[in-house]
């Protein structure tokens, strides 16, 4: 990955930040994208000073098509091409569907699904030239729908369907498509998850210190990308969930409901 150009969306925290650090350690050209310009600039300064790599910051709201086009255009103008696009930006939610403002579900789809579609569409011609890789950071929720996460699960199912359909279109022309599905990973995503009315949850309902770290998750994704794998599923719980859901779906309906019921302040009364 030395001197390769890597775009990472949602790079100001969590898995995205850890991925940028991982690639900086390998001497890649890093393009970090997120909505917070201040966080990006501060992070970029850290990467430049510590690893001596080239870092481009592009303030990007992936829910806006013009922002995604700008991200790709600035990357190509700066580095001459793209080797890896990591669609990592995402938001979550927690609320019963019957209580949910439909605009929240639309927002989840706009960021988690359409953001990846926009970025990939503008990047694909450059990835075909470099025979590069498209990465979608999905979730176990892209395999198994989770109660009180209807919008999140729907967006991840859509993301995986999009990438699975794209893969055979481009594989004979040298482009790899990697779908990465972390299990529960310690990050900021649950703290800023949306509630029924679209406001931020504020506090995570889970024990973050008992989860896989963002750094460990990023290391797995990096290795899978280098080996040009198709799919990775992370954490023992995540792998078990995917396996059991394939063979015992009715059993898993009850299991995931029971798990979600045990969360603090669960919407299930």
Protein fold of 5-261:
Rossmann fold (3.40.50)
172 half-sphere exposure, CB direction, 13 A CA radius: 2
What pLDDT is stored for residue 184 in this prediction?
A: 81
Cross-strand pairs, 233: 181
Cross-strand pairs, 181: 233
What pLDDT is stored for residue 220 in this prediction?
A: 96
Least Cα distance to 148 among 208, 182, 190, 211 occurs for 190
Residue 191 has pLDDT above 80, yes or no: no
- Distances 198 to 172, 224, 237 between C-alpha atoms, Å: 42, 35, 29
What pLDDT is stored for residue 203 in this prediction?
A: 66
- Give the β-pairing of 133-137 and 29-34: unpaired
What are the pLDDT digits (tens) for 232-241? 999 999 999 9
User: Could you tell me the pLDDT band of residue 211, with boundaries at 50, 70 and 90?
Assistant: confident
**Contact assessment for residue 87 and residue 134, using Cβ atoms and an 8 Å cutoff:** yes
What pLDDT is stored for residue 46 in this prediction?
A: 96
The span from the CA of 129 to the CA of 83, in Å, is 9
Average pLDDT over residues 175-188: 88
Residue 53 has pLDDT above 90, yes or no: yes
Helix, coil or strand: residue 6: strand
User: Could you tell me the pLDDT band of residue 183, with boundaries at 50, 70 and 90?
Assistant: confident
DSSP secondary structure letters along 72-131: HHHHHHHHSS-SEEEE-----B---GGG--HHHHHHHIIIIIIHHHHHHHHHHHHHHHHT
What pLDDT is stored for residue 204 in this prediction?
A: 61
User: Could you tell me the pLDDT band of residue 50, with boundaries at 50, 70 and 90?
Assistant: very high
Whole-structure pTM value: 0.94
What pLDDT is stored for residue 189 in this prediction?
A: 66
Residue 209 has pLDDT above 90, yes or no: no
What pLDDT is stored for residue 11 in this prediction?
A: 96
User: Could you tell me the pLDDT band of residue 269, with boundaries at 50, 70 and 90?
Assistant: confident
The span from the CA of 128 to the CA of 167, in Å, is 12
Residue in 118, 122, 143, 152 annotated catalytic:
152
| 152 flagged as catalytic | yes
Cα angle 65, 71, 76 (rounded to 5 degrees) comes to 130
Write out the E strands in the chain.
5-9, 29-34, 55-59, 84-87, 133-137, 176-181, 231-233
Average pLDDT over residues 204-212: 69
What are the pLDDT digits (tens) for 2-31? 999 999 999 999 999 999 999 999 999 999
Mean pLDDT of the chain: 94
Least Cα distance to 183 among 214, 161, 205 occurs for 214
What are the pLDDT digits (tens) for 107-136? 999 999 999 999 999 999 999 999 999 999
Q: Burial of 159 by CB count in 10 Å (0-12 exposed, 13-18 middle, 19+ buried)?
A: buried
Residues above pLDDT 70, as percent of the chain: 96
Average pLDDT over residues 83-89: 98
Residues above pLDDT 90, as percent of the chain: 88
Length of the chain: 269
What percent helix, strand, coil does the chain show, rounded to 5? 55, 15, 35
């Amino acid at each position: 990955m030395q001197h390769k150009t890597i775009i990472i969306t949602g790079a100001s925290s969590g898995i995205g930040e850890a991925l940028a650090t991982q690639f900086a350690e390998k001497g890649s050209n890093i393009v970090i994208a997120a909505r917070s310009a201040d966080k990006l600039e501060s992070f970029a300064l850290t990467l430049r000073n510590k690893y001596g790599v080239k870092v481009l910051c592009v303030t990007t709201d992936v829910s806006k098509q013009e922002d995604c086009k700008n991200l790709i255009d600035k990357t190509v103008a700066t580095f001459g091409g793209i080797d890896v696009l990591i669609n990592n930006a995402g938001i979550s939610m927690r609320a019963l569907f019957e209580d949910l403002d439909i605009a929240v579900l639309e927002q989840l789809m706009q960021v988690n699904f359409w953001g990846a579609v926009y970025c990939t569409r503008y990047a694909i011609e450059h990835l075909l030239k470099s025979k590069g890789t498209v990465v979608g950071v999905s979730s176990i929720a892209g395999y198994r729908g989770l109660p009180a996460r209807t919008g999140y699960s729907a967006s991840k199912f859509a993301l995986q369907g999009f990438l699975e359909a794209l893969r055979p279109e481009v594989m004979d022309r040298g482009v790899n498509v990697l779908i990465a599905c972390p299990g529960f990973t310690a990050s900021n995503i649950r703290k800023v998850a949306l509630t029924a009315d679209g406001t931020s949850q504020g506090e995570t309902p889970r024990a973050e210190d008992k989860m896989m770290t963002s750094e460990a998750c990023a290391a797995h994704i990096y290795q899978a990308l280098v080996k040009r794998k198709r799919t990775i599923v992370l954490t023992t719980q995540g792998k078990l969930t995917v396996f059991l859901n394939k063979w015992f779906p009715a059993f898993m309906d009850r299991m995931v409901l029971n798990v979600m019921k045990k969360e603090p302040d669960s919407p299930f009364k």
